A and B are shown apart, each in its own frame.
Chain A
């Protein structure tokens, strides 16, 4: 099993890479001891989004399915979490049920939508358009639920102002449970992210991941080799969308609100920009790049959100026109090549190009 942590579908191998990864992890773990709690909470907030990016990396980078629907599942799970938590009276019971319910909602929605699209042979471009359409429709729908008639049980949807009143995720424990916030939120998210990252790495290098890449390279060839392409596509679509759902649940828990604007445009563009900029074919690049972009974006947003978004758009254009593989991945490749040259080893066969 652990052998799968390194392989052709993931960048980075050997003691140097894992050593560096360990140092980064330790630094992240030590960070709350030095930083002020506000910054810690802020970093935790960045981690929320990375699950969604990793999910997109799996389905788009590995399998070639560009989904504009990450925020659709994000919103579905976020709202699902809120509705369930509020209706079950919050607390450990409500929020844990909300967590599970939100994820199940995202997964089931992805399975249904994915079934119709993938088994309907909607591929490439149309896949993107249909996912974008449902995303915008959901944002539009939730935006007009302002009236009191739009409530599920006790949970008012509240239209464009968004839903509020759910507790943050609460683990069962003494005194009404352990509330997941601030520094604890940060640590749990680091842990979750590390586990998700390692599991996805293993998945990417497993037989499943190799088939995904085969489908990306040439779906027809993969099919002629005897793989049921549609099953793999559906599986990775559900996986990626559920990860987006996890981001949605965590986001709602983090801020105790969710609004339709986290689903519609421009929010729906963000995952695509993160992943494209980072290098969509690689999980490590996505992880690092997404974090850096979120950090940069937030530093700019303080001055002007519009300008920050203009820059993000320009960054996407620049990536596609000049570094189609992605900036972070390009830098990673460069580092790997330098390391190789120093050791005077023959270069390994290059990973498959997109």
Chain B
């Protein structure tokens, strides 16, 4: 009985962690900054590959994961300055540019690295509840997802950078007039978003097979979560991840993976039909 209950929670926690971790970076880049980053999956992939490469180079796993995150962060900052910055006034064009970028990165990786890359075994082993054994690492992922939400809350609501960032997103001209360095804030925010994507990849590196097209397995879930969530990370992405994880877990358990995936999409289309601004709009309207 306990085992079954925990199994249900475990499944939910697994999907929830995946949705939050893969969507957090996008929620900043797309939800807050309004840049439609179709290369989000490739930032995740960057985290995965750098983590695996540094792990194979002899670094312990946590350090390798830090490397993956840091590299994604830096690449994000550079890309923002070179490719994204000219396009803030043309949001649909930023979509196209990042779409092109994603194609270049995916296929470029295929050319340079090849179609497979040695993976990392899942660490930490398992633990037993009732009659079942569960992977401990999945619980780490769940904790990391909660941690990421806490980090985002702290960064954007409790630091000077967070206030400046939110000011720039709301009214760039006014923020600049008040002495905020707009370009730096944009670059840093984009970097944080890319870094969180890289962090997601770093965390999932030990659980997946490493192929250059792996980014596309993150992109749909993350966009769907952000779209259902709306513009706020805490009031949007988090509740959206809870709702979608419940739907997904239930469908997976009763009807299997493929129905879970399709059901998720149907649910998303229905939810946006009812809540055009996502959970953010709904929750802020209720609290306002």
Contacts and interface: CB of A to CB of B under 8 A. Distances in A.
Interface of A: 66, 116-117, 120-122, 124-126, 128-130, 132-134, 136-137, 140-141, 144, 264-266, 269, 272-273, 276, 304, 306-307, 309-310, 312-317, 319-321, 324
Interface in B248-267: 258, 261-262, 265
Interface string B87-118: 10011110111011111101110110000000
Contact of B99 (A117, A124, A140, A269): A269
Contact of B92 (A124, A304, A307): A124
A317 B87 CA distance: 12
Contacts of A307: 107, 111
Given A120-B276, A137-B265, A265-B216, A125 B36 contact: yes
B224 interface: yes
A266 B92 contact: no
A118 to B, nearest CB: 11
A313 B86 contact: no
Contacts of A129: 36, 223-224, 227
B273 interface: yes
B100 A133 contact: no
Contact of B224 (A133, A276, A324): A133
Given A134-B265, A141-B258, A317-B83, A125 B103 contact: no
A304 B107 CA distance: 11
Given A125-B92, A314-B104, A320 B36 contact: no
Contacts of A315: 100
Nearest to B262: A137
B155 interface: no
A116 B103 contact: no
Interface size class of B (residues with CB under 8 A): 35 or more
The 5 closest A-B pairs by CB, nearest first: A313-B103, A316-B100, A313-B104, A120-B273, A317-B100
B207 interface: no
Contacts of A140: 258, 261
A272 B107 contact: no
Given A66-B92, A310-B111, A324-B90, A133 B99 contact: no
Contacts of A121: 276
A321 B97 contact: yes
A136 B93 contact: no
Contacts of A116: 269-270, 273
A259 B110 CA distance: 21
B7 interface: no
Given A140-B261, A144-B258, A320-B97, A306 B111 contact: yes
A272 B96 contact: yes
B220 A137 contact: yes
B36 A130 contact: no
A310 B100 CA distance: 9
A266 B93 contact: no
13 contacts: A124-B92, A133-B223, A133-B224, A134-B265, A137-B261, A141-B262, A306-B108, A307-B107, A310-B104, A310-B111, A317-B97, A317-B100, A320-B87
Contacts of A122: 272-273, 276
A270 to B, nearest CB: 10
Interface of B: 36, 83, 86-87, 90-93, 95-97, 99-104, 106-108, 110-111, 213, 216, 219-220, 223-224, 227, 258, 261-262, 265, 268-270, 272-273, 276
Nearest to A312: B103
A244 B92 CA distance: 22
B93 A324 contact: yes
Given A116-B273, A310-B108, A320-B87, A132 B220 contact: yes
A133 B265 contact: yes
A63 to B, nearest CB: 13
Given A141-B258, A266-B103, A321-B86, 9 more contacts: A66-B92, A130-B269, A133-B265, A269-B99, A310-B104, A316-B96, A320-B93, A320-B97, A320-B100
Nearest to B216: A265
Given A125-B91, A125-B92, A306-B110, A317 B268 contact: no
B272 A120 contact: yes
Given A120-B269, A132-B220, A272 B99 contact: yes
B31 to A, nearest CB: 11
A133 B268 CA distance: 10
A279 to B, nearest CB: 13
Contacts of A136: 216, 219-220
Contacts of B258: 140-141, 144
Given A269-B99, A320-B93, A117 B269 contact: yes
A117 B273 CA distance: 7
Contacts of B83: 317, 321
A280 to B, nearest CB: 10
Contacts of B101: 313, 317
A128 B272 contact: no
A233 B271 CA distance: 21
Nearest to B111: A306
A321 to B, nearest CB: 7
Contacts of A266: 103, 106-107
Contacts of B87: 320-321
- Between B86, B87, B216, B276, the greatest number of chain A beta carbons within 10 A of the residue's beta carbon is seen for B216
A23 to B, nearest CB: 34
Contact of B268 (A125, A130, A144, A276): A130
A125 B226 CA distance: 12
Contact of A125 (B95, B110, B262, B270): B95
Given A117-B269, A129-B224, A272-B96, A304 B104 contact: no
